[in-house]
Amino acid sequence: MEPLDELDPLATVFPEEDVPPQGISPLGGSLETRAPRHESQLPAPKVPFPLDPILAPVFRDFEQSGVRWCLLGLPEKGPEVADEEVVALVDRSALTTARRVLKANGFAPIPTWGRGPLARFVGYNPQSDRWVILDIATRLTYGPYAELETGAEGGCLERRRWEGGVYVLAADDAFWTLLLHVLLDDPTLLGARPPAFAKTLERLAVEARTEGPLGRVVASFLPERWSTDVLVDCVWDGDWDALERLAPVLAADWARRQEGAARRRNLANRTLRRFSARRLLPAPRGLSVALLAPEPAAKAALAEELGRTFYLPVTFMRMSAAPRSRGGKLTRAGLIVTLVTFWLRYLTGRQRRAKGRLVIFDRYTYDYRLPPARPARALGKLRRVLLGRACPAPDVVVVLDDPTPPKVRKLRPDVPYESVRQRYLDLAQRLPDAIVVEAPASHESSDGASMDTEHLRREITAQLWRAYAAAPPTSWLLRLGGLLQR
């Protein structure tokens, strides 16, 4: 069944409500008991492990854009609050189209230095409050530094099958790709008894073909006295000690027969990882946000929540200058001091943004564009004009609109709350691309923050991440990294 002919099965993979899985994809793991070795083909599971719903439009757009793809693995069932990681194989010639589809669906690219032909994209689901990680592979490579090439990705995409609403690997390809991952990618996977994915490998061994396309690739690199039949028998019999002894020999023979190509890939990816660990390569691009609201308590509570849950590290930057003391009384800082303070903190925020952080500006210069609460003189109006345009615009402006006044107002309690709120709404209309987020009705807290912070955090996180995904890379090295993955 082709996906463009019938899309209803997607409802089983991306359910609207949480339901227990009725089956599982070949790479998803299983708790089933082992079937007899020479049993006929196992019935195909009807429903893979449910994926996060925000992946459904991505896969639909892949089909409509002509991108050939299939899942290399489905996530194991874990805590509901845990991030979800999915790996997909995509035709190398369609990577540019896949990037465009992911960007349109709110998935932001995250640099993966030294991971070979693997591109990482991250999306956010506000309904489940989870980050969804989609790794896109364009080639099937193995080894700690992705140095061992198979050249089998084209055949795997040709033999993919449509199952339960998504494309998955053919059962034979699923067995060999998972076995090579366990043997070559991470030596610790074979250290436990039973090792990771043992149940899945035993179940897939029933349909493994020793003379299949991937089986022949593996056979060409096996040492003496080993064959693909022996490999399948070891998996079926649970002889993990023998497979653990085979793993380093297989990796060494594979690298030796690929000669200089494997050594070059190993050296390049190892170097990139070391440079990235020493922060010598660009981090994920950051984002700057000006947070505006009638009440400081709401902004502080929201900024704290974003710092706890946002995918990028968060820096909170208060722009306003500290008041000065004159005659025992606190007065506002002078114009020059305020301008210098604005620019020092703005440049500090730009520096943090360049290091891949979400920078939240509080008391941004836009606050000076609000009409004054009391009539001002000509010099006072000129001061507000200068300060209101002192710094360049941030990437995003968020205006929090709470129609419910707090019980305790610490800032200008003599001015009616509704008047202050309306000024911020008028300001949002004058600012280009400002995002106005209305707070739902909620119970007021003791500190005066009446907004439902959890609801606001999810909604604003989704808005910020879409803006982050839509922005182009800020570093030429990031652009170069994207070109090298094609």
CATH number of the domain that 387 lies in?
3.40.50.300
Alpha-carbon distance of 64 to 94, in angstroms, equals: 12
This prediction has a pTM of 0.81
Alpha-carbon distance of 30 to 41, in angstroms, equals: 17
What does residue 359 show for φ and ψ, rounded to 5 degrees? -105, 120
Alpha-carbon distance of 484 to 138, in angstroms, equals: 11
What does residue 195 show for φ and ψ, rounded to 5 degrees? -70, 170
Alpha-carbon distance of 63 to 81, in angstroms, equals: 30
Total of domains in the chain: 2
Alpha-carbon distance of 170 to 163, in angstroms, equals: 10
Nearest CA to 166 out of 72, 291, 36 is that of 72
Instruction: Give the per-residue pLDDT at 42.
Output: 39
* Same-domain pairing of 221 and 237: yes
Radius of gyration (C-alpha) of the chain in whole angstroms: 28
* Same-domain pairing of 143 and 268: yes
Q: What is the CB neighbour count within 10 angstroms for residue 24?
A: 22
**β-strands 329-331, 118-125: how paired?**
unpaired
Q: Facing residues of 81 across strands?
A: none
Give 52's contacts (C-beta < 8 A, 6+ positions apart): 14, 84, 125, 128, 130, 132
Cβ contact 220:149 at 8 Å: no
**Diameter over CA atoms, the chain:** 94
Question: Is residue 3 in a domain?
Answer: no
* Same-domain pairing of 272 and 302: no
Give 244-312 as a DSSP string: HHHHHHHHHHHHHHTTHHHHHHHHHHHHHHHHHHTT-SPPPP-EEEEEE-S-HHHHHHHHHHHHHH-SS
Question: Is residue 66 in a domain?
Answer: yes
Question: Is residue 482 in a domain?
Answer: no
């025992």: which residue's tokens? 328
Domain final position from 240, 255, 280? 280
Alpha-carbon distance of 50 to 72, in angstroms, equals: 15
Instruction: Give the per-residue pLDDT at 300.
Output: 86
Give 267's contacts (C-beta < 8 A, 6+ positions apart): none
With residue 217 as reference, give the H or E element that holds it. Answer: helix 213-219
* Same-domain pairing of 16 and 154: yes
Domain final position from 228, 261, 280? 280
Question: Is residue 398 in a domain?
Answer: yes
* Same-domain pairing of 235 and 365: no
Instruction: Give the per-residue pLDDT at 29.
Output: 37
Measured in whole angstroms, how far is the alpha carbon of residue 265 from the centre of its chain? 26
* Same-domain pairing of 298 and 340: yes
* Same-domain pairing of 452 and 433: yes
Cβ contact 310:304 at 8 Å: no
Instruction: Give the per-residue pLDDT at 7.
Output: 34
Give 173's contacts (C-beta < 8 A, 6+ positions apart): 152, 155, 156, 159, 212, 213, 214
Nearest CA to 105 out of 60, 51, 159, 171 is that of 60
Alpha-carbon distance of 120 to 469, in angstroms, equals: 12
**Strand boundaries in 327-484, DSSP class E:** 329-331, 358-362, 396-401, 435-438
Give 273's contacts (C-beta < 8 A, 6+ positions apart): 113, 114, 145
Which SS3 state, helix, strand or coil, does residue 359 take? strand
Question: Is residue 476 in a domain?
Answer: no
Q: What is the CB neighbour count within 10 angstroms for residue 202?
A: 21
Question: Is residue 39 in a domain?
Answer: yes
Question: Is residue 216 in a domain?
Answer: yes
* Same-domain pairing of 299 and 273: no
Instruction: Give the per-residue pLDDT at 33.
Output: 35
Domain of 303?
287-470
* Same-domain pairing of 248 and 292: no
* Same-domain pairing of 275 and 310: no
Domain final position from 245, 280, 315? 280
Alpha-carbon distance of 385 to 376, in angstroms, equals: 12
* Same-domain pairing of 442 and 307: yes
Instruction: Give the per-residue pLDDT at 135.
Output: 94
* Same-domain pairing of 390 and 292: yes
Q: Which two tokens stand for residue 455?
A: 């609801």
Task: Walk along the chain (486 residues) and give the pLDDT tens digit of each residue.
Answer: 333 333 333 333 444 443 333 333 333 333 333 333 343 343 443 434 578 899 999 999 999 999 999 998 655 554 454 578 899 999 999 999 999 999 999 999 998 888 889 999 999 999 999 999 999 999 999 999 999 999 999 999 999 999 888 999 999 999 999 999 999 998 788 877 777 788 889 888 888 888 878 888 999 999 888 999 999 999 999 999 999 999 999 999 999 988 888 989 999 999 999 998 888 888 888 999 999 998 888 888 889 999 999 999 999 999 987 666 565 555 677 888 889 999 999 999 999 999 999 999 999 999 999 888 777 788 888 988 999 999 999 999 999 988 877 766 666 666 788 888 899 999 999 998 899 998 776 545 444 444 577 888 999 999 999 999 998 765 555 555 555 454
Instruction: Give the per-residue pLDDT at 451.
Output: 53
Instruction: Give the per-residue pLDDT at 344.
Output: 94
Dihedral of CA atoms 241, 247, 249, 254 in degrees, nearest 10, equals: 160
Q: Facing residues of 447 across strands?
A: none
